[in-house]
Amino acid sequence: MRMARHRERHGVQRAGWLRAAVLGANDGLVSTSSLVVGVAASGASGTAVLTAGLAGLTAGALSMAAGEYVSVSAQADVEHADRALERAELAASPAAEFDELVGIYERRGLPRELAEQVATALSDRDALAAHMRDELGHTELSRARPLQASAASASSFAVGALVPFIGMAAPAGRARLTLIVAATMLGLAVAGALGARTAGTALLRPTLRVVLGGCAAMAVTALVGVLTHTAVG
């Protein structure tokens, strides 16, 4: 009798691009809406508000792409350096590296004899891979992917940044500000819920965290806009 295949779904496979995408979407929503709210609160014209929003979207998406690529590339450089160092250590002191691997398995609960058998089997297959995984914690699932992270961050930023533009459909003044804030809060709630669902966590706390953080940012920039309008006007 053939047993049905057991399937498991874990979030580690999505950790790299998910982190970048959630960060990008939240930044796009919060930074662009805050920029638009601040400019609108200053009494600027609709054209000025729209121009500021588009400039913020473009600059933000490019900045996220570049920043994510640089930071994840630095992580990839560390992984490459670790691999080169481990390869050199294996070539210089294979016996010591083998004992180190045995010690790792013993600390995880295996008896000495079984730990040696496991270390022997894994070393015969791919000693470098065994040390990278069990000594340093580097796996294929956690490998740094700069291009993937950069694309996810930039595209999600752009999508998130488009949400506050819904408010531009309202007439200038209080109605426009209200619609921008409402659309942004809804977008933040959706982004927070999607991020939590994709990560496999409960929805309420991550969603509230995202919404409250965005509201605080909009409130501060709106205050700055009002004070600037008062001072300059």
Per-residue model confidence as pLDDT tens digits over 130-146: 889 888 888 777 777 88
Please give the pLDDT value at position 12: 46
pLDDT above 50 (res 198): yes
In a domain, 134, yes or no: yes
Residue 210 makes CB contacts below 8 A (sequence gap 6+) with 26, 188, 189, 191, 192, 195
pLDDT above 80 (res 18): no
In a domain, 190, yes or no: yes
Could you report the per-residue pLDDT of 56-69, keeping only the tens digit for each? 999 999 998 998 89
Determine the average pLDDT of the residues in 27-46.
83
SS3 158: helix
More confident residue, 84 or 22: 84
In a domain, 169, yes or no: yes
In a domain, 9, yes or no: no
More confident residue, 226 or 74: 74
Determine the average pLDDT of the residues in 142-168.
85
CA distances from 112 to 100, 104, 137 (A): 12, 10, 22
Domain span at 133: 16-228
d(CA 12, CA 18): 10
In a domain, 233, yes or no: no
Task: Please check whether residue 32 is in contact with residue 172, taking contact to mean a CB–CB distance below 8 angstroms.
Answer: no
pLDDT above 90 (res 148): no
Domain count, the chain: 1
Task: Please check whether residue 18 is in contact with residue 199, taking contact to mean a CB–CB distance below 8 angstroms.
Answer: yes
In a domain, 116, yes or no: yes
In a domain, 7, yes or no: no
What's the number of CA atoms in the CB half-sphere (13 Å) around residue 61?
A: 16
Please give the pLDDT value at position 152: 85
Query: Helices (H) and strands (E) in the chain — how many of each?
Result: 7, 0
In a domain, 6, yes or no: no
CA distances from 18 to 47, 57, 103, 128, 203 (A): 35, 20, 35, 29, 16
d(CA 233, CA 225): 12
pLDDT above 70 (res 3): no
Please give the pLDDT value at position 227: 82
Q: Enter the DSSP assignment of 170.
A: S
